[in-house]
């Protein structure tokens, strides 16, 4: 819960930008991954989900960590405000 004008800070791993890794994320998300890591999903579009939840993205950086393309290396880091908050 955020107070009016509160800022959400986020660091999320996101869907891979290559078709092969994205397909593998989908397969794992539909099978064992959420069970192994307490509901986490590899291929989620966190940016879209934040916006659908009523947040306005204020700052967004995309990066790889580790700096190689793996199932979990695609990340976003940023801040968001609730829709309508300035």
Q: What is the reported pTM?
A: 0.84
Confidence of residue 48 (pLDDT cuts 50, 70, 90): very high
**HSE on the CB side for 28, CA within 13 Å?**
20
Over residues 26-32, the mean pLDDT reads 95
- Written as one string, the DSSP assignment of 22-61 is HHHHHHHHTTTHHHHTTT--TT--HHHHHHHTTEEEEEEE
pLDDT at 11: 96
Confidence of residue 84 (pLDDT cuts 50, 70, 90): low
- Residue 55 pairs in a beta bridge with 82
- Map out the domains of the chain as residue ranges: 7-82
């Amino acid at each position: 819960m955020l107070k009016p004008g509160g800022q959400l800070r986020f660091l999320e791993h996101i869907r891979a930008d290559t078709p092969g890794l994205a397909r593998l994320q989908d397969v794992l998300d539909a099978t064992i991954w959420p069970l192994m890591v307490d509901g986490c999903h590899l291929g989620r579009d966190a940016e879209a989900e934040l916006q659908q939840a009523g947040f306005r993205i204020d700052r967004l950086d995309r990066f790889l960590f580790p700096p190689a393309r793996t199932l979990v290396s695609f990340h976003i880091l940023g801040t968001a405000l609730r829709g309508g908050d300035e």
